[in-house]
Chain A
Amino acid sequence: MILFVLCFVLFMIGLYGVILQRNLIKIIIGLAIMEYSVYLFLILIGYVKGGTVPIISDFFENGPFVDPLPQALVLTAIVIGLATKALLLSVAIRLYKHYGTFDIRKMNNLKG
């Protein structure tokens, strides 16, 4: 239970970064922290206490297995996360070239 609470705390730390930070890079880091908390949550769902690798074989103990499906989900989600982070960072670099700063308060062309 305590682990789920910690996951939630991590999510909130990330959300704090996204909402209250003024620096583009810090916003991206906040988003990344949120993402990791969700991955951890998914892994926790599939975790079985004392579970082993979910492979039926002679070498491993065929005891209680951990659920492999959330792990597959997390692997897919990490790949997606990589693409979004790469895109976000490249946009941040372009914005820096235009404005000479990462400060989001200086970028106010869009209003209304």
Chain B
Amino acid sequence: MGSLLPLYIIIPLGTAFLTLIFGRWLHNLGKYLIIPAMLFLTGLTIYFVSQIPQTVVYRVGGFADVLNIPVAIFLVADGLTNILLLIISIVGLLVALYSLSYTKQYTGETKFYALFCLMLAGMYGVVIAGDIFNLFVFLEIASIASYTLVAFGIEKQQLEATFKYQVLGGVSSLIILSAIGFIYWTTGTLNLADIARQLPQVKSFQLFVSVLLIGGFGLKAALVPFHSWLPDAHSSAPSPISAMLSGVLIKAVGAYVIIRLFFNIFQINYQIAMTITVLGTLSMIVGVFLAIGQWDFKRLLAYHSISQMGYVVLGIGIGLLVLATGGQEKVAILAITGGLFHMLNHSIFKALLFLNAGSVEYRTGTRDLKRLGGLAEKMPITSGSSFVASMAISGIPPFNGFFSKVVIIFAAIQAGYYWLAFFAVVVSIVTLASFTKVQKYAFYGELPAKYENVKESPFGMSLSMTILAILCLIMSLLIIPGVREIFLKPAVDVLMDASKYSVKVIGL
């Protein structure tokens, strides 16, 4: 089973090259390669999830350990990675399906799909990498592909956004690289499991390295003091790419790495737990208040991404705080479940919202909410699915967003952080207000005369939006006790017995 793991990197990389090669001779066929590749990877992920949750390890090159020191490059899959693999595969597949019609407006379509595959390879790599330097390399692959994709239309705005994104992304990469340097200096190893084993003996630089890592990956995850690149990059990019960036990239290369490092690798410590909680709360509040005043459809959604990532990090942070202060274990489990569940839900409904915005822009040519209106009768599928997603993001039952938010709020109350619960409720209400505005100005109200002839978006786009809308409903089933055991509980278990990570991976 372990030998299946490298496929996650080989298939997207191979597809990227094949797309370019086939695209040279068969102009229209090259781009369809991505669909079978993503279907296969989704199937593979479902196979991984359906297995009894276990830690799968693959050693690239097959080198055995020398004197108890792991020398091979590790690829690791466990309960937590399964969640991320599922997010990347499902959202990646549906966004690729959507792009097939959407990218007809661009020249050089095959390059778009090649870069898309490279971005997927990078994200899969970050999630399954078992050592911190390979994690960095895959992070850079994903980042470079996304820098290019943001600027795919080479308009003024896109170039400006990508420049800002690249400079900040470059600085964060360097911070991460120097943190890796410090880790290697103090522990003498780069393997994540081995680092977890060596760190308890290391006294120097622990806190400093943690701060560097929070800064570096916080910038990638767009937590609030580091968020300034996100609204520009996510709103300027082509819509399918915005859906990928907001739905998947900031989670796979930002939130996931923070979760993995601070639960499994570093020892849980109060100051770091507090920092992460404060950053989460700040992102949640600042993001939503910046979003209210926006009139650009995609820019508004981008600010909501910051706010919703705040919920995820808040849930994780409360879990860390409870563990650090020695509180009840079941409260910590509740908080972490909420955080991970919200991460899963957010990737579905935020991807859907960006695809809706893309459809509206594709048919009307504008993203300005003031100039839109009354599209509900002209574009029933877009409007219906965006209604579902808006309800999900603002936390209205029975959609998935409600359940994850409720779990986080309950966890905050049980842990005794009443203020955090209060803020979470307030932010949720403001989110509802903001999305009521989107619905009113874009899909209801007066239809401007020039949009009389607007049609529903093409079949592929409508299909992927419909599937995502259905997923918004189905995802809420994941919290039911019987179903939770299959999927969410293994991930939480990985984080709860933090010390077992290195034992499971190296096997000592």
Contact = CB atoms under 8 A, between A and B. Distances in A.
**Co-complex (A, B):** yes
Nearest to B232: A110
Summarize B's interface: helix, strand, loop or mixed.
Answer: helix
Interface string B161-197: 1111011001101100110110011000010000000
* Chain A interface category by residue count: 20 to 34
Given A70-B181, A80-B137, A87-B148, A94 B154 contact: yes
B144 A83 contact: yes
Contacts of A48: none
A84 to B, nearest CB: 6
Interface string A83-107: 1100110011011001100000001
Nearest to A24: B163
B181 A92 contact: no
Nearest to B296: A112
**Which of B154, B167, B190: most chain A Cβ within 10 A?**
B167
A6 B184 CA distance: 20
B133 A73 contact: yes
Contact residues of A: prevailing secondary structure: helix
B269 interface: no
Contacts of B147: 84, 87
Given A24-B163, A110-B161, A41 B174 contact: no
Contact of B160 (A69, A76, A110): A110
Contacts of B160: 95, 107, 109-110
B210 interface: no
B184 A70 contact: yes
A6 B133 CA distance: 25
Contact of A34 (B133, B159, B174): B174
A89 to B, nearest CB: 10
Given A77-B177, A84-B144, A110-B232, A92 B167 contact: no
A83 B142 CA distance: 12
A6 to B, nearest CB: 15
B106 to A, nearest CB: 16
Contact of B174 (A38, A91, A99): A38
B144 A88 contact: no
B161 A45 contact: no
B304 to A, nearest CB: 14
Nearest to A28: B167
A31 interface: yes
Nearest to A86: B144
A35 to B, nearest CB: 6
B299 interface: yes
Given A31-B167, A45-B184, A76 B137 contact: yes
B170 A31 contact: yes
B293 interface: yes
B167 A27 contact: yes
A70 B173 CA distance: 17
B181 A38 contact: yes
B502 interface: no
A69 B188 CA distance: 10
A77 to B, nearest CB: 6
A15 B172 CA distance: 12
A66 interface: no
A99 B163 CA distance: 14
B450 interface: no
Contact of A112 (B133, B156, B177, B294): B294
Contacts of B163: 24, 88, 91-92, 95
Contacts of B184: 45, 69-70, 73
B140 A80 contact: yes
Most buried by B among A35, A69, A91, A99: A91
Nearest to B170: A31
A12 interface: no
A95 B231 CA distance: 20
B157 A110 contact: yes
Nearest to B163: A91
B151 interface: yes
A87 B178 contact: no
Given A70-B184, A109-B157, 4 more contacts: A69-B184, A88-B166, A94-B159, A112-B231
Top 6 A-B residue pairs of the complex, sorted by shortest distance between their CB atoms: A80-B140, A110-B232, A45-B185, A42-B181, A109-B157, A98-B156
23 contacts: A31-B167, A34-B171, A35-B170, A38-B177, A38-B181, A42-B181, A73-B180, A76-B137, A77-B177, A80-B137, A83-B140, A84-B147, A87-B144, A88-B163, A88-B166, A88-B167, A88-B170, A91-B159, A91-B162, A92-B163, A95-B163, A98-B159, A109-B157
